[in-house]
A and B are shown apart, each in its own frame.
Chain A
Amino acid sequence: MDITNLKFLFYGYSAAWFIITAFVLLLVSRGRRIDRELARLRALVENKERS
């Protein structure tokens, strides 16, 4: 009984942390994509202003 409980407790916490980590990774990858796009656009605008 006790070992089953421990197993489920482990599954429970693992699932919770998996979801939170997946969300953080999703957010970070989206953030990188946005930063890249922003840098690209800023460079384009600078080029346009110079010419």
Chain B
Amino acid sequence: MTHGFRTAYAIARKDLRTELRTKESLNAAASFAVVILVLFSFAFPLERDEFYAISGGLLWLVYSFAGALIVNRGFARELPNDCLDVLIASRAPGWAIFLGKAVAAFLLLLIVEFICLPVFGLFYNIRWTDSFGSLVLVIVLATWGITVVGTAFSAVTVNVRVRELMLPVLLYPMIIPLLIGAMEATTVLLSGEAMAGDNLYSLQLLVVFDVIYTALALYLIDYVLVV
């Protein structure tokens, strides 16, 4: 068990180090997210007060587009030089490889999201500093959901034709409940309401989604990672 966690940690560190040195997908995802934010400002010419009603929806649309870009690299990164085959054939348990990659993608996506948040606040005049703790909780929970499902599908589609298209086609329908919960929770928080009472239902949804899909992914990944 500890061997597995140590492997996961090593793989996460490797992925993060590679990514932070080259900053390929980080730059691509962050710039893409900012461009989408600009595009949306032209698409929805609303007054500032009206904007709070769609703030959560907008933010999570941007985050999910950036997320698809980041998880796409997950297992595809290992394709050159047969690295993927070597990883699978090694002693490393499948769940450890998956966990390491999921955690690395999670942290990278969090970086992109926290870069976008001030830009979002700036462009749309949204105040996001109140109830920042709850906002961070919602972002962390939902981002974990996106990355766990995304990394699982990254493994599934690693040898598929037109991978860059197939991964979003699979990913987006699957994370719709998660996005609904995250959008709802974020709109509530940005509008200044407290995260209590009825609003806790969306947090529940996020937790349930995360638990179910983390368990499914960890259990099924061994069937995917076969040489």
User: Are A and B in direct contact (Cβ within 8 Å)?
Assistant: no
